Amino acid sequence: MPVQIAVIDDWQDVARDVVDWSALDSVGQVSFVHDYPADNRTLAERLAGFEVICVMRERTRFDEDLLRRLPKLKLLVTGGMRNAALDLKAAAALGIQVSGTDSYKHAAPELTWALIMAATRNLVAEANALRAGQWQQSLGGDLHGKTLAILGLGSIGQRVAQFGQVFGMRVIAWSENLTAERAVQAGVARVSKQELFEQADVLSVHLVLSDRSRGLVDAQALGWMKPTALLVNTARGPIVDEAALIKALQKQRLAGAALDVFEQEPLPAHHPFRTLDNVLATPHVGYVSRQNYQLFFSQMIEDIQAWAAGAPIRLLG
């Protein structure tokens, strides 16, 4: 019997075209699922017949309850090598293997910088005004000579820091694990947490979501920021206290926010981030680029082939 393989979270209906899935013809049958996440009962009904499920990052949560509802499931394959939406402990207990893929390292930094530039120069508002027959509606800001604050100087944070340096910005950074040596290697100044928020003209979040980082950008931290500052988050939504950020934006204690990630995704229809004038929001597209998808899906195919051959690769957990 051919193995039943599901490629889910394919919201844009692009997975079938970015790589050649015929490489799996000898393994089984591939189905593409475009539905948004649902409750576990609905998901279990949708996915009950599949032995292999390919997931796109953290779009769909596979907790212990859902995994137990999928007795045929033998392999989960995720884009990237880290996925907080998968209960790896429960998967292991149920005999479900989990494989990952590499990631294209430039997509998220490029999207981050696009948001910084678009928000600073009011590009979306100006483009929309032009479509409406208007001309020059606002006064844009500047980046040269301003301070870019990097919260989390990992691989993505370092690339964003490099962009800032090219634009003539002073770059500072902080995280609990940042050493002076690593800061020097990246050409940035290491500061304290409070100094990071106080000095930032643009503060860009690049931490990994963990118990330690969840809610780290809270009301106190936002209160340290200049009223002229911009907060940018392309990391994970729960790192920022959404209620505190909304309040700061509504009261204009912060000039603006550029956000690609949210506490709940997809973002609810009537969420304030959809309507606040000082928010530039995009639907978590930091990793959604052709090269990244090609890498994700081509390595998902490799993972499935290796698993089918009895020698699974890139295992998580």
265 noted as active-site residue: yes
Over 209-263, what HEC string results? CCCCCCCCECHHHHHHCCCCCEEEECCCHHHECHHHHHHHHHCCCCCEEEECCCC
Spatial distance between the Cα atoms of 86 and 34, rounded to a whole number of angstroms:
19
- Clarify whether 284 is annotated catalytic: yes
Q: Are 19 and 41 spatial neighbours (Cβ–Cβ below 8 Å)?
A: no
- Given the residues 57, 159, 206, 284, select the one marked as catalytic: 284
DSSP letter for each residue of 160-181: HHHHHHHTT-EEEEE-TT--HH
Phi/psi region, residue 246 (left: phi>0; alpha: psi -120 to 50; beta: rest), is alpha
Q: CA 56, CA 110: separation in Å to the nearest integer? A: 20
Give the residue carrying structure tokens 């089918």.
308
Give backbone dihedrals phi and psi of 10, rounded to 5 degrees, phi first: -85, 65
Catalytic (active site) residue 34: no
Q: Do 248 and 270 contact (CB within 8 A), yes or no?
A: no
| Contact (Cβ atoms closer than 8 angstroms) between residue 207 and residue 237 | no
Catalytic residue among 195, 265, 302, 314: 265
CB 153 within 8 A of CB 175: yes
Among 205, 171, 166, 199, which residue's Cα sits nearest to residue 185? 171
Catalytic residues: 236, 265, 284
